[in-house]
Structure 1
């Protein structure tokens, strides 16, 4: 059951009809991979937390999806496409929507949209602290380096570049806030670094969160993942002129459970 489902649904953008109203599930039974949308040489897949996109041959997202396509588990997709690669990044510990291409030409088509910053990405994150839910959209403007930082220096070392994240708080519990974030620039770990600089680190973030908070959510709340989820992705499909938005299945169960439990127990 979703947390405060009415408000959460109202915060979602207008989702256009995807290829299939019922996501196809590929991969192993223990790690289902819902296909949110697909075409002959591309797929939008919802990646689980803890799975690498391409650094674990035979077990990473691209490997599993390619095996499923070759086995005919995704009928719309060309079984003979040479491979599967991700068009953009998503950290291992972040769950959610990923766009995959089946050949270099398709990858270049989508990649050009990312390079031009015409792709729109929204994330759901749980952060420490209670943020006002009636303040609408706000922005974090801290400049960041291209390289990742850490909890002591989230900005990173080297030349800093302008960087903007739009965000709004959707829900709160006694200790945490559920926020929706939109990236207006593209730096590594941008949401995580901006949240840390704001004093509201992402829950479960082992790189930017405090050791004390990590121990608390693990021991007291039995929460073991990073609370960051790529929720929607909007881009242009081959042969079309308008933008199309693909959305994940919603807030992951573990994040919903933490919000609900934090309301009940504290």
Structure 2
């Protein structure tokens, strides 16, 4: 287990640096923190290296005094996949965790993702006009040959809009309106435009090409915004990441 004290960068934003991995801190307050999780880092279940572990060590070392010092643990208020980068909300005490959990249960939290998908996906581009994906999905994860999943399928909704195109790819913004496992990735696959770099739902041929010819070795999915109400606040706050991850941006810009 890695228990070394993380370093802190703070120009212009606070960044936790642990084991060579940089975790930007988007915002923090008493008992909570919003991190911009890098691709490939687990949120939990990887002691000493996962997001919750790294943040807890930094908090207890006094690197993030606004969060508090005497916290029993750090818990994620929600989850994103290991291979997905982006915004994650963390809580440092049971009361704060429950406060956020109630909002997620009431579907009062809004999450937006940036997805780089295969092909020329055309659709609405304005924030006031979104297109729907409504395929029903099983609660459990599925695979490339049957992305809807086997067994009981439940209603499922994702809305999306187009932001940019390159020769072979499209950048879209997605908002999942329900919470099925791998929802955006499965809906993109069902639409015929799988997420770039998706080892579970994409093709092995495209994965090999991206790695060999484009040096692209990540999932093209990034959680870029989260809107939620903070403790003691009457209105919601929107937290955003620092922008499109470099690997995704570079692939989009060089694919001409």
TM range (shorter): over 0.9
Q: Structure 2 matches for 1:85-96, cutoff 5 A?
A: 85-96=75-86
Distance apart, 1:103 and its partner CA: 1.1
Tell me, yes or no, if the aligned pair for 2:112 and 2:174 is still in contact at 8 Å: yes
Distance (Å, rounded) in 2 between the aligned partners of 1:55 and 1:49: 16
Q: Structure 2 matches for 1:129-168, cutoff 5 A?
A: 129-132=119-122, 136-168=129-161
Tell me the residue number matched to 2:14.
24
Report the TM-score when normalising by structure 2: 0.92
Distance (Å, rounded) in 2 between the aligned partners of 1:23 and 1:84: 21
Tell me, yes or no, if the aligned pair for 2:124 and 2:130 is still in contact at 8 Å: no
Report the TM-score when normalising by structure 1: 0.89
CA separation of 1:68 and 1:173: change in aligned 2, threshold 3 A:
same
Distance apart, 1:30 and its partner CA: 2.3
Q: 2:220 aligned with 1:227, yes or no?
A: yes
Tell me, yes or no, if the aligned pair for 2:124 and 2:131 is still in contact at 8 Å: no
Cα RMSD after superposing both structures: 1.4
Tell me, yes or no, if the aligned pair for 2:123 and 2:131 is still in contact at 8 Å: no
Moved over 3 A (4+): 133-136
Tell me the residue number matched to 1:258.
251
| Residue aligned with 1:27, SS | strand
Extract unaligned runs of 5+ from structure 2: 1-9
Aligned length, in residue pairs? 244
Q: Structure 2 matches for 1:1-266, cutoff 5 A?
A: 22-28=12-18, 30-132=20-122, 136-263=129-256
Distance (Å, rounded) in 2 between the aligned partners of 1:156 and 1:179: 24
